[in-house]
């Protein structure tokens, strides 16, 4: 914390709420509590701001946008009469610009905010629980309630030999001073997919290896279509494999995998590990405090954000709940309000949107087809490819599809996913449809603006009952 300008306020006495962790969830908790008139102590350790602003969402998305700018210029030839090209000329300058953005947002959205709330005291130090309260730097801090929001960090898979490899994580990759010529990405989830495509567009040779398929949490047809888009850009994919070993020498990294038919030895300059995240709980001494954890080490909470220890709540990536920064902030607000006002608010993720910032982007909300069937619904689906969407035709970019899932008995929409270049900015319409209990027919009868990506939702909704290929423009 030295040198970054955090205002430390010294107070004596007890606090209404102690918040452990000064990232997105921690700040959301502290600010919500202070707005309730509570006296709050916010305990941070290390760089203030947590994952999202420092090493997660902000730095990765600005680098992904830069890579998209390169790709878009090179793809201009899809329009007859156009030609384009773009080159990465200075990787270090690009990294420095990313660091400047991170520093500005950390200062403006975290450090400077502390002086805006008189009810918040900031303490820098290592915190642990002792069953009776919070200990910060071996000094007891008295508080009526506690919220744990210590976040997570990149997880490392159990691949034989990986402990001897100088591998990269999503954090260290974005701090490299030199761009690797080639890279193997271990992990096909949203972090691995985003960073693999970004590095490929920056000019490196990239191969993705994963135990399942690319984006295993999405609909299989969405995963397949994105895999095709990746391969068209020259990204190698080895999915459904098992890891045999990995090693490193002066020539680079070798990862040995088996796909059930044969063994592959994949070689590259660097190895990126992107296999999820693990919660930051080790230093908290939770077992001694009576706070239950799952097999991953994450804190188990109920729908009121309560842990197994009375008076102790948790929110964000340290818990067993949704690993998205906006859900961390949402859960943190609930934790603060419940801790101070009697546990009346329940966590609800039934209309939770999620986005993967690949290109095409992947976005979804609600139940997949498989999840809906598992829950006993009589399921019907509608799938349209982007070549049925006027916006995509005008843009000469029909990579993608839209899939909607509905209850066949009532027509009620249950979920859906979009794979489209502008899918992330379209998903909120479907979020609102689910939140307010719309049927597929009602969505299909809603007025949408023409030549927009979001119009694909209307067409997909109409696709339950008619062949949209037989509609004229704006018909229906």
Q: Tell me the average pLDDT across 155-166.
A: 95
Q: Is 390:193 a contact under the CB 8 Å cutoff?
A: no
Mark the binding-site residues for FAD, compressed into ranges.
Answer: 61, 317
Q: Per the structure block, which two tokens stand in for 193?
A: 């997919």
Q: Tell me the average pLDDT across 77-106.
A: 97
CA angle 146, 147, 150 (to 5 degrees): 130
Kindly indicate the confidence band of residue 132, based on its pLDDT and cuts at 50, 70 and 90: confident
Mark the binding-site residues, compressed into ranges.
Answer: 61, 187-194, 276, 317
Q: Could you give the CA distance from residue 426 to residue 404 in angstroms, rounded to a whole number?
A: 13
**Percent of the chain predicted with pLDDT > 90:** 93
C-alpha dist (Å) from residue 362 to 194, 221, 332, 400, 431: 10, 12, 26, 9, 14
Q: Is 294:277 a contact under the CB 8 Å cutoff?
A: no
Q: Tell me the average pLDDT across 65-76.
A: 98
Q: Tell me the average pLDDT across 181-208.
A: 98
Contacts of residues 247-250 at CB distance under 8 Å and 24 or more positions apart, as own/partner, are 247/161, 247/164, 247/165, 248/164, 248/165, 248/166
3 state SS of 355 = strand
Kindly indicate the confidence band of residue 13, based on its pLDDT and cuts at 50, 70 and 90: low
pTM (2 decimals)?
A: 0.94
Residue 3 clears pLDDT 60, i.e. is over it: no
What Rg, from alpha-carbon coordinates, does the chain have?
24
What domains are defined for the chain? 15-54+95-154+278-341 (3.50.50.60), 162-275 (3.50.50.60), 354-464 (3.30.390.30)
Tokens 């590095």: give the residue.
199
3 state SS of 207 = strand
Residue 188 clears pLDDT 70, i.e. is over it: yes
Q: Could you give the CA distance from residue 157 to residue 3 in angstroms, rounded to a whole number?
A: 35
Q: Could you give the CA distance from residue 53 to residue 4 in angstroms, rounded to a whole number?
A: 15
218-263 per-position pLDDT tens digit:
999 999 999 999 999 999 999 999 999 999 999 999 999 999 888 9
Phi-psi domain of 290 (left: phi exceeds 0; alpha: psi -120 through 50; beta: other) = left
C-alpha dist (Å) from residue 340 to 21, 29, 121, 309: 18, 11, 17, 16
3 state SS of 180 = coil
Q: Which of 65, 43, 204 is nearest to 139 (CA)?
A: 43
Q: Per the structure block, which two tokens stand in for 470?
A: 């037989």
Q: Tell me the average pLDDT across 168-180.
A: 96
Q: Per the structure block, which two tokens stand in for 247?
A: 């090693």
Q: Which 8-state DSSP code applies to residue 418?
A: E
Kindly indicate the confidence band of residue 475, based on its pLDDT and cuts at 50, 70 and 90: low
Q: Could you give the CA distance from residue 47 to residue 55 in angstroms, rounded to a whole number?
A: 10
C-alpha dist (Å) from residue 263 to 243, 259, 266, 364: 10, 7, 10, 35
Show Cβ contacts of residue 65 under 8 Å, excluding neighbours closer than 6 positions. Answer: none
pLDDT for position 316: 97
CA angle 405, 357, 174 (to 5 degrees): 150
392-414 per-position pLDDT tens digit:
999 999 999 999 999 999 999 99
Kindly indicate the confidence band of residue 5, based on its pLDDT and cuts at 50, 70 and 90: very low
Q: Per the structure block, which two tokens stand in for 339?
A: 């801790």
426-471 per-position pLDDT tens digit:
999 999 999 999 999 999 999 999 999 999 999 999 999 999 988 8
**Percent of the chain predicted with pLDDT > 70:** 97
Q: Tell me the average pLDDT across 153-169.
A: 95
pLDDT for position 476: 57
Q: Is 20:146 a contact under the CB 8 Å cutoff?
A: yes
For residues 467 and 30, the model is more confident at 30
Instruction: Report the length, in residues, of the chain.
Output: 476
Q: Is 401:381 a contact under the CB 8 Å cutoff?
A: no
329-388 per-position pLDDT tens digit:
999 999 999 999 999 999 999 999 999 999 999 999 999 999 999 999 999 999 999 999
3 state SS of 454 = coil
pLDDT for position 2: 34
Tokens 């000019």: give the residue.
203
Mark the binding-site residues for NAD(+), compressed into ranges.
Answer: 187-194, 276
pLDDT for position 149: 98
In the chain the first and final C-alpha atoms are separated, in Å, by 59
Alpha helices in 142-271 (DSSP H): 170-173, 190-201, 220-232
Kindly indicate the confidence band of residue 7, based on its pLDDT and cuts at 50, 70 and 90: very low
Q: Could you give the CA distance from residue 257 to residue 252 in angstroms, rounded to a whole number?
A: 17
pLDDT for position 366: 98
Q: Tell me the average pLDDT across 289-297.
A: 96
Residue 9 clears pLDDT 90, i.e. is over it: no
């Amino acid at each position: 914390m030295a040198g970054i300008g955090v205002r430390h306020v010294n107070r004596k006495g007890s606090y209404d709420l102690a918040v452990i962790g000064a990232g997105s969830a921690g700040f959301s908790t502290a600010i919500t509590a202070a707005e309730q008139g509570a006296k709050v102590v916010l305990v941070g350790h290390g760089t203030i701001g947590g994952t999202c602003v420092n090493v997660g969402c902000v730095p990765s998305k600005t680098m992904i946008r830069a890579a998209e700018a390169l790709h878009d210029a090179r793809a201009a030839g899809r329009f007859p009469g156009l030609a384009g090209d773009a080159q990465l000329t200075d990787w270090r300058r690009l990294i420095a610009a990313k660091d400047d953005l991170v520093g500005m947002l950390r200062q403006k959205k975290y450090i400077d905010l502390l002086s805006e709330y008189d009810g918040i005291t900031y303490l820098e130090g290592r915190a642990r629980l002792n069953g009776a309260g919070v200990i910060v730097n071996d000094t007891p801090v008295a508080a009526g309630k506690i919220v744990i929001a210590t976040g997570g960090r990149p997880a490392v898979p159990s691949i034989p030999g990986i402990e001897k490899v100088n591998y990269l994580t999503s954090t260290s990759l974005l701090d490299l001073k030199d761009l690797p010529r080639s890279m193997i990405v271990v992990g096909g989830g949203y972090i691995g997919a985003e960073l693999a495509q970004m590095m490929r567009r920056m000019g490196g040779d990239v191969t993705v290896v994963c135990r399942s398929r690319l984006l295993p949490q999405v609909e299989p047809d969405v995963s397949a279509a994105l895999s095709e888009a990746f391969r068209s850009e020259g990204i190698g994919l080895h999915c459904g494999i098992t890891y045999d070993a990995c090693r490193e020498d002066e020539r680079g990294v070798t990862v040995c995998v088996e796909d059930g038919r044969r063994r592959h030895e994949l070689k590259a300059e660097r190895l990126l590990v992107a296999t999820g995240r693990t919660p930051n709980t080790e230093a908290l001494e939770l077992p001694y405090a009576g706070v239950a954890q799952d097999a991953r080490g994450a804190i188990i909470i109920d729908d009121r954000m309560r842990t197994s220890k009375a008076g102790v709540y948790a929110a964000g990536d340290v818990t067993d709940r949704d690993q998205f920064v906006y859900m961390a902030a949402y859960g943190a607000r609930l934790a603060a309000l419940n801790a101070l006002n009697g546990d009346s608010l329940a966590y609800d993720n039934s209309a939770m949107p999620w986005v993967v910032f690949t290109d095409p982007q992947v976005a979804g909300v609600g139940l997949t087809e498989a999840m809906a069937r598992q829950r006993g619904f009589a399921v019907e689906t509608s799938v349209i490819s982007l070549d049925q969407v006027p916006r995509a035709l005008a843009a000469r970019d029909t990579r993608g599809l839209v899939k909607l899932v509905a209850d066949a008995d009532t027509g009620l929409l249950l979920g859906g996913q979009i794979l489209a270049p502008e899918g992330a900015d379209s998903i909120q319409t479907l979020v609102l449809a689910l939140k307010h209990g719309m049927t597929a027919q009602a969505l299909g009868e809603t007025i949408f603006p023409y030549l927009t990506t979001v119009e694909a939702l209307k067409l997909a909704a109409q696709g339950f009952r008619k062949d949209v290929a037989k509609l004229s423009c704006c018909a229906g």
